[in-house]
C-alpha cells in the first residue's frame, strides 16, 4: 500500500514520543545548567599546577624544566625560571618558575604537557565554565591561578593521584633511609677505638 513506509516511520516516532514519558532510554536530555552530568575521571579541559602541602608557592612541584613549554603544540605556555632554588619532596634542590603563564584561549586541551612532565607537576583540570568578559587578559592564567592543591587533584583523578602519591611516598622513604644511613656512616668514632 502506498504510504506504508511513512506510516511505519510515524509509528516509530510515536513509540519514541510515548516512551519518553516513562523510559529513561528515550528521554536523554540533561537540562543544563540546572542539571549537570557527573564528571568522568579521565576528562580533560585545561591544565593546572599541583602543589603539596599548604603553601601554594613553596609546595609547587614544578621545577621550571620547560619541557611542557617546548612540547606544547600551540605554544601557549610561557615560563621564566627563578634562579633561587628550593628543596623538593625528597630534599633535592630544584629550580622553580618565577613566571608560569598559560593562555587558556590558545590551549587546545591536548594534554601533551601532562604526558611529558617528568615531575607530575602539571595535570588536567575538568572545569569548562571559563567564560570571561575581559577580552585580553581574562584567559591568561598565571602561576597563582593555576596552582591547586594535591587534594583537589586526588578528587578529580582518583586512581592516578593514588599511584603518584604512593610512588612519591616510596621515593621519600628511600631518600630518608639513605640519608639516615649516610649520617650513621659519617658519625665520628667513639673515644677508645672500635671494639
Residues forming contacts to another protein in the complex (CB under 8 A) are 2-6, 8-9, 12-13, 16, 28, 40-44, 67, 69, 71-73, 75-78, 101-103, 105-106, 108-112, 115-116, 124, 136-137, 139-140, 159
Residue with cell 588536567: 124
Q: Shortest approach of another protein to residue 52 CB, angstroms?
A: 24
Closer CB to another protein, 90 or 106, in the complex: 106
Instruction: Outline where the chain has alpha helix (H).
Output: 4-19, 67-71, 112-116, 143-146, 150-156, 158-185
Q: Shortest approach of another protein to residue 93 CB, angstroms?
A: 25
Closer CB to another protein, 6 or 189, in the complex: 6
**Residues near 143 by Cβ (< 8 Å), separated by ≥ 6?**
49, 57, 60, 97, 99, 100, 101
C-alpha 182/C-alpha 137 separation (Å) is 51
Closer CB to another protein, 41 or 176, in the complex: 41
C-alpha 143/C-alpha 153 separation (Å) is 16
Q: Are strands 47-51 and 77-87 parallel, antiparallel or unpaired?
A: unpaired
Q: Shortest approach of another protein to residue 175 CB, angstroms?
A: 26
Q: Shortest approach of another protein to residue 187 CB, angstroms?
A: 44
Closer CB to another protein, 167 or 173, in the complex: 167
Closer CB to another protein, 95 or 140, in the complex: 140
Closer CB to another protein, 3 or 33, in the complex: 3
Q: Shortest approach of another protein to residue 184 CB, angstroms?
A: 39
Sheet containing 122-124, strands listed edge to edge, beginning at the edge strand earlier in sequence: 122-124, 47-51, 147-149
Q: Shortest approach of another protein to residue 142 CB, angstroms?
A: 11
Residue 123: enclosing H or E segment and its boundaries?
A: strand 122-124
C-alpha pair distances (Å), 102 with each of 142, 156, 191:
7, 20, 60
Amino acid at each position: 500500500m502506498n504510504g506504508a513506509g511513512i506510516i511505519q516511520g510515524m509509528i516509530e516516532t510515536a513509540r519514541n514520543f510515548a516512551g519518553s514519558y516513562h523510559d529513561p532510554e528515550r528521554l536523554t536530555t540533561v537540562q543544563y545548567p540546572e542539571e549537570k552530568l557527573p564528571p568522568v575521571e579521565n576528562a580533560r579541559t585545561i591544565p593546572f599546577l599541583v602543589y603539596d602541602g599548604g603553601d601554594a608557592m613553596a609546595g609547587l612541584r614544578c621545577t621550571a624544566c620547560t619541557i611542557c613549554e617546548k612540547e606544547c603544540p600551540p605554544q601557549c605556555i610561557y615560563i621564566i625560571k627563578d634562579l633561587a632554588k628550593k628543596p623538593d619532596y625528597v630534599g633535592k634542590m630544584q629550580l622553580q618558575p618565577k613566571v608560569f603563564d598559560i593562555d587558556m584561549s590558545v590551549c587546545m586541551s591536548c594534554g601533551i604537557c601532562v604526558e611529558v612532565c617528568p615531575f607530575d607537576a602539571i595535570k588536567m583540570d575538568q572545569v569548562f565554565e571559563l567564560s570571561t568578559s575581559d577580552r585580553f587578559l581574562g584567559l591568561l592564567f598565571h602561576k597563582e591561578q593555576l596552582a591547586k592543591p594535591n587534594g583537589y587533584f586526588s578528587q578529580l583523578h582518583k586512581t592516578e593521584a593514588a599511584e603518584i602519591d604512593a610512588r612519591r611516598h616510596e621515593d621519600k622513604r628511600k631518600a630518608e633511609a639513605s640519608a639516615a644511613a649516610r649520617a650513621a656512616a659519617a658519625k665520628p668514632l667513639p673515644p677508645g677505638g672500635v671494639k
